[in-house]
Chains A and B, each alone.
Chain A
């Protein structure tokens, strides 16, 4: 018997793909396991098998299990899952809320909405639904899934924390960045609210900490939104905001090592891996109380109310920069929280749930 995974799209530096790769390492200890994906980056060609090849590679067996990672809608994948005889286990990474995307990409918003509809249709086919957070689990139960369990993602932050930094990026940061550095890691997408973060940074720089820098590390895949956030920083005359784009692991390590605090203004996360990464680099975390963020932080960060208040966010950044005891307290609580996300424990939890199905 084989346990294969199905993705809609696979790319480097993507949390869903990383989760699938982690699980594959685990599953291959027990038997054959492949990752099938409808779309994938060329650089992942050696890791991922095209979904169209599934019948030839996996055969007609109905005794296998398919682990489907859901994060977006896709009719072809939906039809594939509905037609195949294998049992289906869902890992729900959450689907971003469509209304935030509609002003910038109406068709993409349609895809997100269709994803939720497809989940409803898929529910009877799914024998077990796994959610990395209680927040995601609640959504699945509301949609109509019967057997929903919380299983934390396998996140090996030690791998990143132990990696070598990128020499050029470290050199650039050493040479050009003086003063406190605020770091955000995540895609420049509407639900992550980098626009609010830039507004808060404007307040910080103008009224509270004139030497501060802000790095936003992550790709911006919606051109209209990305352009709007860039223009905002430009028109607010914020020369110390650096949109680093998609970065390599080594570059990310350089940013994490140099940063003084990690801040996200995101208002929708199913889990939010960068929060744990930041803790592993001993960075205090500031975030807002949205979606699964408070649950992932578990009291280990400065969680602000969910309202859109850039001034409050700026004051929080200044407070953490200027108060050594607060800074140390947040770092220490981050370390404690991180210890609760043991990769081995997460692997064991996943396997325990999966064994009940196979």
Chain B
């Protein structure tokens, strides 16, 4: 490699290509690659590309030839014979009488037959060359179909409408089967004052899907410069009425339009409730660009791994995202430092009690406590 002195070394492409060629030859000699690999793949593609759906057009050609021979209409070929005495003379006389009309009708039939033969020949030639008659609209429709299939493959596992419909039916079923459980004391509202502590020195903060504005109020009380973007117009309006700087809009679109490295922190509370997973990923990817170095992306949510929390959650509360999912997305997006803190464990009175006399039983109880009574909330803090 050579170095231009103004950045990373510039690869010596010619030398590299020579090395690659030598490597290929060596590996071919060593049997790493089958000696016929390239030819086999090329031949395979050529066979596929040459393949055409077989259509036996010879039958149609022969039928058209028969039609050609039969398509000559002449009054002289109309039989006049008769089994009755004097019948032939009668037919001939009638034929002579209507010969003018017969000739006119034959000429019309002949013209029709000639035109039909030309049309059939044209159809035959089109069939002989399938590429020549595929209508552009049909090709376009096929393309659209393939594109829709590709989009379906890329999309979420279930269409949004179907999921919404299913959710609505589940909610109706749940409502009919049992009353919604009350929110237990342990599942207190998000402690915004405590959460606001994460953002010390991180102004300006953007709260995406800012909801009722609880976090923004806590941030303002802590002297932190913060604003919100809320996709539900009614919530945004309600926040503004309380003097909070909230814009009504789509959080991802809003974040995309924000200048790079202009934010100190981005916050999202209950992201799974407010945004589909695809939007959360887009949010993570965009936030990486919009945060200044050292900036924070903070997710606060309900812990779906807490069975206690799930059991006491009100119906239809939403789809909590597992913090491990967020950690993965954050690391994939390039956030270097990702940490998760746990909050709101169920009270000691809720947990299973240990039995002093039996260590093995206590071990099992401890495992059950971890499984059933995990912390109900989490905060994932990622540093850019």
Chain A residues in the interface with B (C-beta under 8 A)? 103-108, 163-172, 174, 195, 199, 202-203, 207, 219-221, 223-225, 228, 231-232, 235-236, 242-246, 251, 257, 299, 301-305, 308-312, 315-316, 319, 325-326, 328-333, 335-336
Contact = CB atoms under 8 A, between A and B. Distances in A.
Contacts of B6: 336
A172 B286 contact: no
Given A207-B32, A310-B38, A328-B8, A223 B20 contact: no
A254 B220 CA distance: 36
B336 interface: no
Given A302-B13, A333-B11, A165 B150 contact: no
Interface stretch (B127-135, B196-204, B226-234, B370-378): B127-135
A223 B139 contact: yes
B281 A325 contact: no
Interface in B264-308: 276-279, 281-282, 285-286
30 contacts: A106-B129, A163-B256, A167-B279, A168-B155, A170-B281, A171-B277, A171-B282, A195-B45, A199-B38, A199-B41, A199-B45, A203-B33, A228-B49, A235-B44, A243-B150, A245-B146, A245-B151, A246-B147, A257-B285, A301-B13, A302-B11, A303-B17, A310-B38, A311-B38, A319-B16, A325-B9, A326-B16, A329-B10, A332-B10, A333-B10
Contacts of B42: 199, 308
Contacts of B33: 203, 207, 311
A305 B18 CA distance: 10
A326 to B, nearest CB: 6
Contacts of B276: 167
Nearest to A284: B11
Interface size class of B (residues with CB under 8 A): 35 or more
Nearest to A106: B131
Nearest 8 A/B pairs, CB to CB: A164-B256, A332-B8, A171-B278, A167-B278, A167-B282, A245-B150, A245-B147, A228-B49
Contacts of B321: none
B332 interface: yes
Contacts of B52: 224
B1 interface: yes
Nearest to A319: B20
A317 to B, nearest CB: 10
Contacts of B155: 168, 172
Contacts of B278: 167-168, 170-172
B98 to A, nearest CB: 50
Interface string B107-149: 0000000000000000000000101101000010011001101
Given A245-B146, A305-B17, A315-B24, A171 B7 contact: no
Contacts of B7: 332, 335-336
A223 B285 contact: no
B48 A165 contact: no
A223 B140 CA distance: 10
Contacts of A310: 38, 41
B48 A329 contact: no
A109 B303 CA distance: 61
B329 interface: yes
Interface in B15-50: 16-17, 20-21, 23-24, 28, 32-33, 37-38, 41-42, 44-45, 48-50
A195 B139 CA distance: 21
Contacts of A325: 1, 8-9
A246 B277 CA distance: 24
Interface of B: 1, 4, 6-11, 13, 16-17, 20-21, 23-24, 28, 32-33, 37-38, 41-42, 44-45, 48-52, 129, 131-132, 134, 139, 142-143, 146-147, 149-151, 153-156, 252-253, 255-256, 276-279, 281-282, 285-286, 328-329, 332
Contact of B132 (A106, A305, A315, A329): A106
A236 B32 CA distance: 18
A310 to B, nearest CB: 6
Contacts of A315: 20, 23-24
B1 A167 contact: no
A126 to B, nearest CB: 29
A330 B12 CA distance: 10
* Chain A interface main SS type: helix
Given A203-B33, A303-B13, A219 B281 contact: no
Contacts of A232: 44-45, 48
A302 B276 CA distance: 40
Nearest to B12: A329
Contacts of A203: 33, 37
A202 to B, nearest CB: 7
A174 B8 contact: no
B375 to A, nearest CB: 26
A309 B285 CA distance: 37
B250 to A, nearest CB: 10
Contact of B154 (A103, A202, A244): A244
B276 to A, nearest CB: 8
B38 A174 contact: no
A169 B49 contact: no
Contact of A316 (B20, B151, B256, B277): B20
Contacts of A231: 48
Nearest to A169: B154
A270 B29 CA distance: 38
B134 A223 contact: yes
A228 B49 CA distance: 5
A303 B50 CA distance: 30
Contacts of B45: 195, 199, 228, 232
A167 B154 contact: no
A304 B282 contact: no
A106 B332 CA distance: 47
Given A104-B49, A174-B332, A315-B23, 18 more contacts: A105-B131, A106-B132, A163-B256, A164-B256, A165-B285, A165-B286, A168-B278, A170-B282, A171-B278, A228-B51, A232-B44, A243-B146, A245-B150, A251-B154, A310-B41, A312-B21, A326-B11, A336-B7
